[in-house]
Amino acid sequence: MKFRIVLSFLFATRRYVWLTVNRLLSLISPMRYAFGHMGWRSLILHPDLITGHEHIYIGDNVFIRQHARLEAIPLASGLPPRLEILDGTHAEFYFHVACANHVRIGRHVLIAGRVFITDHDHVFTEPNRPILEQGLSVHPVNIGDYVWLGEGVIVLKGVHIGDNAIVGAGSIVTNSIPAGAIAVGIPAKVIGYRKGYKPIN
């Protein structure tokens, strides 16, 4: 029993030391100062890709695990994108967000692994022209505070997810979800509400 307690203590201590060291290193990393804003005690662990740093705004105490892709993509029109991830949000492995207009992820949002959020689609109206040359269709995405996005959720352009909503694993969100709602499926549909919330008529 004592051996197990010691092992548990050592494991917890190692994890704390590891996170502390990474946070300290992030303070002196030149990449930190390339962002539009990087909040206090925020940490992005070994991302696979970050583009448009100057258009990305990270709040305080944000934690994003390994292999993230954060993309802020300027449009040909010259309008700058704005990607916001607010205070206390936590994202797991392989989180991917692609922003060409405006993506706002609220405070204390819990994002499971392999979640993809985007505010744009490729235009594909001309069959005989390469899709990459046809431009983008963009609409802002807004994810409220205290939202939980389950494993593998995809959030598409123009969606608003209200505060305290939950989206089940593997869902594809094509339409807005009210505050406090629980939504699942492809496309995601509301199947219930959290305590204290009522359906919107």
Q: Is the omega angle on the peptide bond into residue 81 within 30 degrees of 0, that is, cis?
A: no
Three-state SS at 5: helix
Active site residue 139: no
DSSP H stretches of helix in the chain: 2-28
Q: Which residue has the tokens 């919330």?
A: 197
- Nearest C-alpha neighbor of 109 from the set 96, 91, 92: 91
Q: Which residues contact 158 (CB under 8 A, 6 or more apart)?
A: 119, 139, 140, 141, 176
Choosing from 55, 67, 122, 160, the catalytic residue is 122
- What is the dihedral sign for C-alpha 178, 70, 23, 30? negative
Joined tokens for residue 49: 């890709």
Distance, C-alpha 196 to centroid of its chain: 26
Burial class (CB in 10 A: 0-12, 13-18, 19+), 177: buried
Q: What is the CA radius of gyration of the chain?
A: 19
Joined tokens for residue 189: 């549909």
Q: Which residues are catalytic?
A: 122
